[in-house]
Amino acid sequence: MATVPSVSNSITVRLEVPARGNAVSMITTAVESSGGSVTGLDVTASGHERLRIDVTVAASSVAHGEEIVEKLRAIDGVAIGKVSDRTFLMHLGGKIEMSAKHPIRNRDDLSMIYTPGVARVCMAIAENPDDARRLTIKRNTVAVVTDGSAVLGLGNIGPKAALPVMEGKAALFKRFAGIDAWPLCLDTQDTDQIVEIVKAIAPGFAGINLEDISAPRCFEIEARLREALDIPVFHDDQHGTAIVVLAALTNALRVVGKEFGRVRVVMSGAGAAGTAILKLLLAAGVRHAVVADVHGVVHPSRTDLAQAPEDSALRWIAEHTNPEGVTGTLKDAVRGADVFIGVSAPNVLDGEDVAAMAEDAVVFALANPDPEVDPAVARQTAAVVATGRSDFPNQINNVLVFPGVFRGLLDAQSRNVNTEMMLAAARALAATVQEDQLNANYIIPSVFHPDVAKTVAAAVREAAQATGSAPAHTPAGTIGITEGADGVAPAL
């Protein structure tokens, strides 16, 4: 699949050029003839003989950016100065920070925010631990926990290299849901140690967001933490992905006029994301699902399943899918299918495979950055196509899910996350696309849609209360304060 210039690979090049002549037009021509895109051109200094110009260029890769710089260097009379990678500049010093909510201007402020006044608040919490939600950051704080073992599509790169992703996640929590999230990158990949560490830090948080932990360990870690903690534990790679896929599929089936209970779904990928998607689709009413992994279609008679642990995700998939007993390869399984969902590897299907699917087929090729089938090719015969990329319509992005889900969980003071909440979140997300907006190229809203987070949050909050996962009302007030809808006020 051909790559296209992207802001994620943009650079700013400082050049000095002759003040007269056609140097500026030669710069833009050089960039565009190299396959780049000029997104900004600013004169930063001017003299009688020379101009200093900052040219911002979108490239398709790091190597492509270097090629463009060399093309600019070859222009007669042009001198190259500093070359800045705009993405790296944004990450300098990190992307998040802690800030105080109240100014510390004098001794009075100091004595209330810190000692001696803080001791009274400590004792109030010691007498009533539930008050920690009302008198500390706990009420609005989520831990973003990783061991760096499955970071994006980069693999096991470790906790330090995972930190930029976790910082970004924390920034998105704040931007879209007003939640304070803290990156916790653990220097261990031992399941027992991870569970014990998260249990130990849990008192300071109202929710745990597990991130980029490899399968199958992620299943055990999540299950054990959910059992041990009285706050919700959400593995975004599993459940966030499942929710947004279900929401998008809900609207895709509306476009093609098909129903969950009647369509045949074929999935590529039996890891953490694939298993979670499958479970949520089955809960939503899918009855005919087939899953394939690197060894082919998953079915109970497959020889390698004999070595799989009885409680493994692969065994579960074999027991709960494929009612028709399909065998063979992914390409075999996808023939005649109504829906293809890929969370696996690039280029496992081609145009002929998509053409062999049922009429008005739906294709979700979500491997990123290179999907299971070229979206442009899939669109030639499929009715609806979605990817995980931002440069095609219908981007399936977890950012649509986790801010609103956690906002709802925190507002409800929920103790866990259950299937009903995830179904409610998916229905709410799908419903943000109005009937008069729905079409094959718009089955899921933009991450910047103003109603997404609050709509999802409201649905999750109601589901938490309806399923008994949250208190029916706010706990009784703390010593000396009452709390209303707008926050904490002095008690009368």
> Could you give the angle at which helices 191-201 and 217-228 cross, rounded to 10 degrees?
30
The DSSP result for 93-129, as a single string, is T-S-----SS---SHHHHHHHSTTTHHHHHHHHHH-G
Q: How many CB atoms lie within 10 A of CB 154?
A: 12
Which pair of structure tokens corresponds to residue 471? 């208190």
Q: What share of the chain is helix, strand, coil (3-state, %, to 5)?
A: 40, 20, 40
CA distance 199 to 201: 6
Phi, psi of 341 (to 5 degrees): -125, 120
- The secondary structure of residue 414, as a DSSP letter, is -
The owner of tokens 């360990």 is 217
Q: How crowded is the C-beta side of 59, counted as CA atoms within 13 Å?
A: 24
Bridge partners (DSSP) listed for residue 285: none
CA distance 405 to 458: 9
Phi, psi of 144 (to 5 degrees): -100, 105
C-alpha distance from residue 475 to each of 118, 128, 339 (Å) = 22, 11, 46
Containing H/E element for 188?
none
Q: What's the 3-state SS for 147-165? A: CCCCECCCECCHHHHHHHH
In three-state secondary structure terms, 332 is helix
User: Which of 48, 31, 49 is CA-nearest to residue 40?
Assistant: 31
Which residues are marked as active site?
Answer: 114, 169
Q: Are 215 and 313 in contact (CB under 8 A)?
A: yes
Number of residues in the chain: 492
C-alpha distance from residue 130 to each of 41, 174, 414 (Å) = 56, 24, 13
Phi, psi of 142 (to 5 degrees): -125, 140
Q: Are 166 and 152 in contact (CB under 8 A)?
A: no
User: Which of 33, 51, 34, 50 is CA-nearest to residue 42?
Assistant: 51
Amino acid 466 reads: A
CA distance 145 to 166: 8
Burial zone of 83 (CB within 10 Å; 0-12 exposed, 13-18 middle, 19+ buried): middle
